[in-house]
Structure 1
Amino acid sequence: MMPMGTSLSRWTMSYFAAALFFLLFAEGLLAAGGWSPSVEVAEPHSLIIVHSTTIGWLALLMIGALLQFGPVLTGLELPKGSLGLVALCGMVVGLVLLLSGFGLTGAGSGLAGPVMFAAAATLAVSFLSIAVALFSLLWRGRHAHEASPFVLLGIASLVATVALGAFFAVVVSDVAEAFPLVSYVVAAAPLHAGLGLVGWMTFAAIGVSYKLLPMFLLSDDMRRSDTLRRSCLAVVGLLAAAAASAVFDEAVAGALALLATLAFPVAAAAYLAELAMAYRGRRRRKLEPNTYWSLPAFIMFGVSAALLPAAVALHAGPTTLTALGYLFVFGWLTGLGLAQLLKIVPFLTWIEAFGPLLGRRPTPKLADLVNGARSSVWFGVFYCAVIVASGAIFLGLDDVFRIAALAQTFSTAALAAELALSRALAGVDADAKKSPFKHPAFFFAGNQRGDANG
């Protein structure tokens, strides 16, 4: 399943663990009433939840995945060294500073400015350093697989998102407090979110799934779709142009942003059509839990992408846009991420633990590492909770939202526990773990060579 010579990323599991921590932190705050539909998303305490989800969960999850599967996409290797660990530490420290800065801003503390400035600098250096390494790898191997251009586009969007975010943090920190700069922050904030959630996270997810889903489904690789490629380029190009235009003319920026929202459903439809063909053409007839429970995420992706242009064109209120955003972030991006972790974590664990034993003695099946039936129950609760929470936001029902958020948090914690049990090989018979078996370290790959092909 992995090319000859591909080694295991030493720190991917660390990224996944940190990402799950921040996801549970954000959901726990939602369940505890840290945000409700009656509160504006732009409030400082709301931004703690937003950035815990986007940076702490989604960004760390994607970078951890790319550290492992970037070499798989290209057939090349990342430079040896500790950049992955150093960048992870910088991202975590920078995010903690950012969340503290939002908290201090809400409290009116004079320390908010310096803390926000330190957060912006730490996050920018950390993200840009790992982005350069990943972009260089994928650029050199851009012709190896059709997925690479989408991931490259995602990384370029990450750089733009980080640049805008750092600028916003500097303005908020009062280092630059001129009125035109504050006005630009207000106008460009939706574009910052669009570049992050669509350009970076969605298009990078499309790229990674272009390789992984056919591999897990035992289907032919997705064919090169010119419609998908061009529409993705159009979305990112229009969002970037809108961010630049907002400096001079907000009306032009608004028109470009509207065009981007019109191009986005085209990209979503082209991608979903490719997925449908991959599912229909699979040679693995019975769907595994990770591919089965990705289906609701794809449906929510299609629904939110289809409704977004209408909501923007009709000048829908903030509650409608927030409800769509919640469905997009938790139903699509989070649902897909959790579903694929249910395969990736056991997959990498099996390679590290049992790959070296292939041909020497019987080894457990990959499915033995995770309890699919129990995980399916938690996924059912998770998706139902997300749908109810999105509806509660739209209708302005604070109490219903909090109950749904509590159910969502509980199911996420249960899925995180399933992943931890898988990594700990809790479901594997003791006979399979006799010497010369070596138990993998929990948070990193000790046996980086893995020898996936025996």
Structure 2
Amino acid sequence: MLTGNNHNELVKTTTHKVVVPFYIYAALAFLVAAWLLFTSSHTFSQYYFQPQLLAITHTMALGWGTMIILGSSHQLLPILVERELYSNTLAHFTFAFAAVGIPMLVWSFYTFNMLWPAQSGALLINIAVLLYLINVTASILKSQHENIHAVFVLTSGIWLFITTLIGGLLVFNFTYNLLPKDSLHYLSLHAHLGITGWFLLLVIGVGTKLIPLFLISQYSNTSLLKWIFALINAGLLAFVFIFLFIQLPFLFLIPVALITIALVLFGYYCFKAYQLRIRKQPDGQMKVSLLSAAMMAVPLLFLLIIITMLLNSPVNTHVVLTYGFTIFFGWLTAIILGMTFKTLPFIIWNKKYHAKAGLGQTPNPKDLFSDKVFNGMAISYLFGFCCFAGGILTADAMVLKTGAASLLCCAFLYNTNVLKILFHKENLS
């Protein structure tokens, strides 16, 4: 793809050879996570620190969410900074190290073997994240153009590295006692830095670029984005300080309040983009992506319930499990399901038809996948998500199994459409 910048130069986006492997890996990881959810659904009625739950969580967080975000970041960053990606080689190594390290870590959690397989997996993942961060930083430094969305990407990458570094320390802490307290004590710190610093910050930074773009909306508000950026990072820093030095539950309401305000502003941004759109009938992919923005309120509600419980009594395990589930299988999965079929079809279309434009009538990128399969995926996802979340809260084994089966169906349909896009045969008429 070629896109013009302010100096009427042509900026080439990252080659599909870098980006597509991340999408394939993420799709397979989603299918694996859904299968693990189905076969281990009974563990969601037990204590939240279980080997199977750790395996599912890290498959979703690393294999599904992180890998597809790494891929899309490599694709989008040149557009944001109006310069080519600093190094395709670094991007390939990022994929290679992460692709090997993630299954090693997940398998170690599943079997709860915290020795060399887990330690090696953690090291490989940290190397992958460091290479990604170097690539992003160098790409931005090469650019002469300031872009708030690129700042979101860079800062979220820094938080990701902090998250994986802490995660690595927690893995080694099982064997070597590196930290003052046991690994379970730091689990909340590790999780929330990843959820908020990596996923939330990057999703908002990229989402506020892509949502107006795909809606064909003229709305833009850099000042509002700076406020969102500042509030999220202030909330994260406040959380870290309170967690490490104070540990008074009611004080955690401060970072929650800051991040809640940021989410409200993000919702307002999406609403204005939707309101000022030129494309009056959003397609199914955009509807799912916009739904994901609204779904951010669900885990926030459960987080407030958890903090309230901490003030008065022991936390209900079912509420904690539902909170985690609504993050990884909720808004994060919803936005990926929607955005995959806005970005991947264009990447493959660009590969197959860009050089042949004008030689004949080409299909639209949206013609590269099946609308029926997408709709079936969306329906099975929404039903499975609501059903499984209800099953956790009620500890009903049948409801859990039904919800997990529906989410497994969703993952299968998602992979079906991804494969349809990847194996699309050129069709000029």
Q: TM > 0.5 between the two?
A: yes
Contact 1:78 1:133 in 2 (8 A): yes
Tell me which residue corresponds to 1:187. 185
Tell me which residue corresponds to 1:268. 263
Quick one: which amino acid aligns to residue 347 of structure 2?
A: L
Tell me which residue corresponds to 1:444. none
Distance in 2 between the 1:181 and 1:72 partners? 44
Tell me which residue corresponds to 2:343. 344
1:294 to 286, 289, 310: 289
Tell me which residue corresponds to 2:200. 202
Contact 1:232 1:267 in 2 (8 A): yes
The CA deviation at 1:54 is 0.5
Tell me which residue corresponds to 2:22. 15
Distance in 2 between the 1:227 and 1:81 partners? 33
Tell me which residue corresponds to 1:153. 155
Residue 239 (1) aligns with residue 239 (2) = yes
Quick one: which amino acid aligns to residue 390 of structure 1?
A: A
Tell me which residue corresponds to 1:396. 395
Deviates more, 1:361-370 or 1:58-67: 361-370
Where 2:11 maps in the other structure, the secondary structure is: coil
The CA deviation at 1:431 is 4.1
The CA deviation at 1:2 is 5.5
Greater helix share, 1 or 2?
Answer: 2
Residue 212 (1) aligns with residue 207 (2) = no
Distance in 1 between the 2:91 and 2:231 partners? 32
Deviates more, 1:55-64 or 1:365-374: 365-374
Residue 419 (1) aligns with residue 418 (2) = yes
Quick one: which amino acid aligns to residue 326 of structure 2?
A: L
The CA deviation at 1:280 is 1.1
Tell me which residue corresponds to 1:251. 247
Deviations 1:238-288 (A, max 9, x none): 233345x2xxx4525x56544222222111111011001111111011112
TM-score by length of 1: 0.86
Tell me which residue corresponds to 1:131. 133
Tell me which residue corresponds to 1:285. 280
Where 2:43 maps in the other structure, the secondary structure is: coil
Distance in 2 between the 1:177 and 1:187 partners? 13
Corresponding pairs, count: 416
Contact 1:258 1:313 in 2 (8 A): no
Contact 2:322 2:392 in 1 (8 A): yes
The CA deviation at 1:416 is 1.6
Contact 1:158 1:199 in 2 (8 A): yes
1:95 to 102, 107, 132: 102
Residues 17 and 319 from structure 1, CA distance in 2 versus in 1: closer, same or farther, beyond 3 angstroms? same
Residue 58 (1) aligns with residue 65 (2) = yes
Quick one: which amino acid aligns to residue 264 of structure 1?
A: I
Deviations 1:303-332 (A, max 9, x none): 322442243233342211221221122120
Residue 45 (1) aligns with residue 52 (2) = yes
Structure 2 unaligned spans of 5+: 4-9
Deviations 1:203-231 (A, max 9, x none): 10111112111111111143121431221
Deviates more, 1:85-94 or 1:296-305: 296-305
RMSD of Structure 2 on Structure 1 (CA): 2.2
Where 1:36 maps in the other structure, the secondary structure is: helix
The CA deviation at 1:155 is 1.1
Tell me which residue corresponds to 2:317. 318
Quick one: which amino acid aligns to residue 80 of structure 2?
A: L
Contact 2:373 2:413 in 1 (8 A): no
Distance in 1 between the 2:277 and 2:385 partners? 29
The CA deviation at 1:120 is 2.0
TM-score by length of 2: 0.90
Distance in 2 between the 1:397 and 1:139 partners? 53
Contact 1:268 1:305 in 2 (8 A): no
Distance in 2 between the 1:278 and 1:101 partners? 44
Distance in 2 between the 1:2 and 1:386 partners? 39
Residues 250 and 27 from structure 1, CA distance in 2 versus in 1: closer, same or farther, beyond 3 angstroms? farther
Distance in 2 between the 1:2 and 1:424 partners? 23
Distance in 2 between the 1:194 and 1:2 partners? 37
Tell me which residue corresponds to 1:451. none
Distance in 1 between the 2:110 and 2:301 partners? 35
Distance in 2 between the 1:197 and 1:421 partners? 31
Q: Structure 2 matches for 1:347-362, cutoff 5 A?
A: 347-362=346-361
Residues 43 and 345 from structure 1, CA distance in 2 versus in 1: closer, same or farther, beyond 3 angstroms? same
Deviations 1:328-386 (A, max 9, x none): 22120011001100111111111111111123322222222222243123202211210
Distance in 1 between the 2:84 and 2:364 partners? 28
Deviations 1:182-211 (A, max 9, x none): 43x333211111111111011101111121
Distance in 2 between the 1:270 and 1:95 partners? 34
Deviates more, 1:75-84 or 1:25-34: 75-84
Deviations 1:98-122 (A, max 9, x none): 12322443xxx6xx42222222222
Contact 1:87 1:130 in 2 (8 A): yes
Where 1:402 maps in the other structure, the secondary structure is: helix
